[in-house]
Each structure stands twice: as C-alpha cells, then as structure tokens.
Amino acid sequence: MSTQSPVNILLVDDQPENLVALEAILADLGANLVKSTSGKEALRCLLQDDFALILLDVQMPQMDGFEVATLIRQRPRSQDTPIIFLTAFSSSEQFMFKGYALGAVDYLIKPIAPNILLSKVAIFIELYKKTEALRQKTEILQRQTTQLEAINTELQTSEERFRLLSSCSPVGVFVTDTEGRCIYTNPRFQTICQGSAKTSESVDESGLGSSSGSGQSWLDSIYPDDLAAARSTWTAYLQNGQDDYAQEFRLRPSGEVERWAAIRSARMVSEQKNFLGYVGTVEDITERKQAEAANAQIIREQAARQEAETANRMKDDFIAVLSHELRTPLNSILGWANLLQAGKLDSQKVEYAIDTIERNALAQKQLIEDILDVSQIVRGKLQLHRLPVNLVAVAQTALETVRPAATAKAIALTTNFHDYDRLEVTGDALRLQQVIWNLLTNAVKFTPEQGRVDIHLSVVASLPQERLPTGPCPEDGPGANVAAPAYAQLRIADTGLGIAADFLPHIFDRFRQADSSITRSQGGLGLGLAIVHHLVEQHQGCVWAESAGLNQGATFTVALPLAQSPSPSPPPATARLPEEPATHALAGLPILVVEDDTDTRDLLAFLLEAQGAVVTTTASAKEGLHLVASMRPAVLLCDISMPDMDGYTLVQTIRTQLPAPQANIPAIAITAHARLSDQAQALSNGFQSHLPKPIEAETLVRTILQVTG
C-alpha cells in the first residue's frame, strides 16, 4: 500500500552549494527534499514533520553532526529515523564507529558518487513506504479490533439488558413466527398462563404450545366461555394482516377468584421491511377488573341510594299533599256538621251545609279510589274486563260528568263527536271512562275562568315511532286486537296553566307534581295522570302530553288501537243503570245487618227502614249466625272485616252448616275492601253481590231488589 503524498527527506549541510548538489542528485526520486543549513534548523524541521531519511553533514559550526544526531535520538518521535552521515574530512574508523554508535545506518565520504547515494536513499524511501503502509494497516486493524470489541460489548450489554427486561418484565411476553406459532416466552408469561392452562393438552419446550401444534398457546389458558371469541378474533388477526391486536378475556381460574388477562400483539418488521412474525404481551388485569367491578358496584349503590332518596322525598311530598287533601275537606265536613248539630242554621244555610258536606265527601271518596287504583297498579293487580267498547259513547259520558264544573267556571267545551257514530276499541268501558274523565277534570281544573277546552276525536293510520305503545298486549278474547291497522285518537287541549319544559318528561310519574309546595294553587294527589298512563298502556295504547310552557296551555293525547272487526257494544256502565227505586221499595222485607261499626250499622238501618224494610242489626258475626237460623231474614247485609269471625267465614258457615232455606239466604258484602279482587273473593265465598263503602242509598236498595228477585 503506497502513501498518498511524497515522503520527506531532510538534507542538513552548512554549505548551500552542497545542499544544491544533493538536491540535484535526489530530484528524480520524487521525494520532498527539506534543506537545512544548521543543526538547530534541522531540529526545528523534525518538530514539524516526520522524515524517511536524514542526510547529515558531520562538520558544521556551532553544532556538529554527531551532536545533532544525539539530540535526534533523544526524541521518541525521531529516535528510529535512519541517518546517513556525510563528511569530507576524515575517514578514520574512530569517526565511523562514533557515527554508527549514534544509530547511523551509513557513513559516506565526500565526494559522494551520485549513483551510490541515489541507490541508498531509494532503498530507505521504499523501506519507509512499506513501513508506513504496515503502520497504517496496523492502525486500521487496531481500529477495527477496537470497534469489534465495542460492538461485542454493546451486544453483550444489549443481550443482558434484554434478558433482564424479559425476566423482570411485569407482563408476559411471547414471540411467534409468521404463522403465529410461539417461539419464545418469558417467565412472566409462563406464570400467568401455565397457572390456567388446560391439563388435557401437552406443553411444548417453550412452556406454551398446545398439543395441536397451532402455536396459539395463550389460548390454552382462556376461560371456556370466552374461548370461541378468543380463537375467532386471533385467527382473524393472523389472516387479515392487521397491525395490532388487543383483547381482554377471562382466564381459567386457579382458585375461586375470577382471573382476567389483556392480550396484545403487533407485527415484527425488519429494517428491510421483511415480516418476521409477531410479538405480544399477556398482562394479568384481575386487580383492575376487580377495581372496575367494585367501582361499578359503588356507582350502582350510589345511584340506588340517590334513587331511594329521591323516591323518599317524593313520598314525603306525597304524604304532605295527601294530608292536605284529606284534612281540607274534613275541615268543611266537620265544621258544617257541628253547625248543623247546633241547630242554629236557617233552611238556606242547612241546604248549603249539606251540599258542602256531600261535595267534600265525594272529593275524599275520589282521593281514596285513586290511592287504591295506584296500589293495585304497583302490585300488578289491576284487572280489566275487556269487551268491544264504543269510544264515542264513553267520551260523551265522561264529558257530561265534568260539564257542571266547566259551566261553573264559564269554560267553553268544544267537541267533534258528531263526526263519528262509533269508534270501536277493545277494553274496559269503566276504566276508559276513568281515563277520559281524569284528563277532562285536569283540563277544567287547570284552566282559568272563561277559558276553553277542546275535545277532538279522530282516526289515524299509524303513530310516530316514538309514540308506539310499549304496554302489554291485551289478552285474547272477544274483539281482541291482534294487529290494529289504525288508532282512535282523543286529544284534549286546554288554555290553562301549561306545563314547564323540565317537568314535562315526568308528567305521568307517580307521586310527582309540578308544585308540591304548601302554596300550590290546585288540589290533588298527583295520581290521576299516573293512573291514566297505566290504564292506557294496559289497553295497548299510548298517551302523551304537549305544552309550549307555563301559561301556554296543554294538550293530552290518547291513542287506542281500533278493534279489528266492528261488533255491537253495550253502552257504558253508567248508562245501563236502572231507574231509581220507588219510595218504600222494601216495604215489609225482613233484612239482617251484621256490621261491627256502630255508625255504619245505624246508617244502614236508617236507610233501609226509610224504604219500609224490617231491619235487625247485630255487631257480632256469631250472633248474626244465630239470627239467620232463628228469624229467617230475606237478605243478609254483612261486613267483611270483623273481630272473632269475618264475613267470609260467616257466609261459608251459613252455606255449609244451616239447613235450607236458611242456607240459601241471599247475602250482600258491605265492605271497605273495594278492589276487583275483593269483589271476586266475595262472590267466590258465597256472596251474591259486593258493595264497596261508602254506599249510596239508591245503589243499596237496587242491589237488594236484584238479589231478592
């Protein structure tokens, strides 16, 4: 290997002409000839450059060649530089030995033969070049050796770092080939997966392979119920060439605790964009899942607690309103009753007092009926008697019941009932009348004087998606609606107080009122609309409210599916009642009354005697049993809830233990248990009829006439 630049040769002689002669001789060698006329100048040149050869004159002033050579040899950088002494004065062996002792490679006597000098200098130039080439190779080799050692050290460090990362990693690590077969796992992977691996399958040398050789070893640890989903997602990931995979699955439990793992994987690609396989992690996330479950439980408990607190507040508000609604009419009833008892009222005030007492008593009766209806709704016991019903007739009947209240407030009632002869739906006529009556009553109550209430009946082909009924389908029966093609729609719009936007979504909630404060201007328990909503849903219909806001009026819409096939329907129950019985309709009829409440017992006796009946009363069911056997009454009026023996037991005893005709005596249940289920129970226990308290005189007489024929 040749050097890139010419070698340096130092020429030292105090005679310039000698330097010129040397330069002429050596010019053809292509070397860089550096000339110096003194020893000091030569030493300065040596400080700056390296030389392949020094031609040094022996005889020089101030510092001869031997002294210069001595100083050259003392410097490490030039101690091995070849020196050829040149001299014209002495060729004695003493001088030659001194020169060689100082490290000279030759000793030439002037005049010097050019060819000899040229050949000698050429040899040293070539030697220098080879030595320099060898030195460069050595340096390159040393650098390469150093680099290799550094690379090996870095590789060892990297391997040690990877080993530590792998062995100390808090997550399991696995590496697969391009087909997804596992080729490497770390200890944490084995700890997580082997604790859950199936014992029925073998494990390969990596600790993770399955007996099928699929290489999807982490799948062996998945909980059986999650295994199908895990296999499906992992196979799709391998086949579709996706960049990342991330799923969470349950692991096979190693104890009673449910264990979870997060599986993640990514493709491995070299710098040359060659696909090498997959690298993935398996992380035990059981604690996180437990924390999430605990947090979710806390959230559920907080929500339940808040819901319970809200419900309790609503019930407290309801109880406060209930107390107000019950005590207010009681105040009027008791107050006017005391005035009547004092006997200080004129005839006009007596009539006014009686009307007031009756009106407030009816209001209390309605409150109690609403509470009982809601109780049955909550327990799922509200029953319907479904028959084909003419909705037009039901709406007209309900309208007539609220017309007096509307007339008293000069509220205009407008209808379009004349547009339809009948709109037949399948349902309970009395309950549908209750729905319409509740909505009309609310409309009249919340509409100021001289306002307007519009009642509009129509038929629509379908309802918007958000209005579709969500209630249960009606039971199969006469006229049962299987797939109604259209809906009868009743809209009741008023010009009243309206509904605030924030309360509109809660308008049909139980125990909710827009204003439950003590200053609210309208009465009521806030149950009517809840009852309406439930009854409409039970008829497979829907009801909704609309309002532009406070003082903007409100519109309530009821949609009921039309019956599939029109069929004759009986008129509403209120229209089927017979005429009032004549005075003294019970003349001479022997009646036995069994009632433990003194006031009720006396009232019944007074009402019946006013109709000419011969009445016998008792507060004991046992005494009543004796009287039935001895006096043989034409009819028995019996309370249900009594001490010692209830009404059911009394009637069953009469039916089973007394001889005819006493055993067949007609019996009417007089009770405060007013539910349909109570009526059914009374009839099933031997009563012929069931009258809920409070009892109207006309209804009582009419029922007695019916059961006695």
Q: Residue 490 has what pLDDT?
A: 92
Look at residue 97 and tell me whether its pLDDT is greater than 80.
no
Between helix 114-168 and helix 16-26 the angle, nearest 10°, is 70
Output the six-digit token pair for 236: 């799709």
Q: Cα(53)–Cα(474) distance, rounded to whole angstroms?
A: 123
Q: pLDDT (tens digit, 9 = 90+) per residue, 355-369?
A: 888 878 877 777 777
Tell me phi and psi for residue 206, to 5 degrees.
-80, -10
Task: Name the pLDDT band for 195 (thresholds 50, 70, 90).
Answer: low
Averaged pLDDT of the chain: 81
Question: In a 3-state reduction of DSSP, which class is residue 448?
Answer: coil
Domains of the chain: 8-138 (3.40.50.2300), 172-284 (3.30.450.20), 291-375 (1.10.287.130), 385-575 (3.30.565.10), 590-708 (3.40.50.2300)
How many other β-carbons are positioned within 10 Å of the β-carbon of residue 408?
A: 10
Look at residue 302 and tell me whether its pLDDT is greater than 70.
yes
**Which range, of 6-10, 207-211, 385-389, 472-476, averages the lowest pLDDT?**
207-211
Q: Cα(261)–Cα(288) distance, rounded to whole angstroms?
A: 10
The answer to whether 636 and 624 have CB atoms below 8 angstroms apart is yes
Q: Which of 32, 37, 73 is nearest to 57 (CA)?
A: 37
- Cα 579 to the chain's mean position, in Å? 62
Look at residue 73 and tell me whether its pLDDT is greater than 60.
yes
Contacts (Cβ under 8 Å, ≥6 apart) of 620: 594, 596, 642, 644, 645
Look at residue 146 and tell me whether its pLDDT is greater than 70.
yes
Look at residue 198 and tell me whether its pLDDT is greater than 70.
no
Q: Cα(445)–Cα(449) distance, rounded to whole angstroms?
A: 10
Q: Cα(178)–Cα(375) distance, rounded to whole angstroms?
A: 68
Q: Which of 373, 674, 399 is nearest to 532 (CA)?
A: 373
- Residue 9's beta-bridge partner residues? 33, 53
Q: pLDDT (tens digit, 9 = 90+) per residue, 471-500?
A: 544 444 334 444 445 889 999 999 988 888
Q: Cα(486)–Cα(471) distance, rounded to whole angstroms?
A: 17
Q: pLDDT (tens digit, 9 = 90+) per residue, 603-661?
A: 889 989 988 999 999 999 999 999 988 888 999 999 988 888 899 999 999 999 988 88
Using alpha carbons only, give the angle 664, 668, 669 rounded to the nearest 5 degrees: 125
Q: Residue 213 has what pLDDT?
A: 35
703 by Cβ neighbours in 10 Å (0-12 / 13-18 / 19+) ranks as buried
How many other β-carbons are positioned within 10 Å of the β-carbon of residue 192?
A: 22
Q: Cα(584)–Cα(532) distance, rounded to whole angstroms?
A: 41
Output the six-digit token pair for 442: 């609310």
Length of the chain: 709
Mean pLDDT across 79-88: 83
Question: In a 3-state reduction of DSSP, which class is residue 385?
Answer: coil
Contacts (Cβ under 8 Å, ≥6 apart) of 423: 390, 391, 392, 457, 459, 488, 562
Q: What is the DSSP letter of 562?
A: B
The listed range with the strongest mean pLDDT (144-153, 190-199, 218-227, 615-624) is: 615-624
Mean pLDDT across 588-609: 89
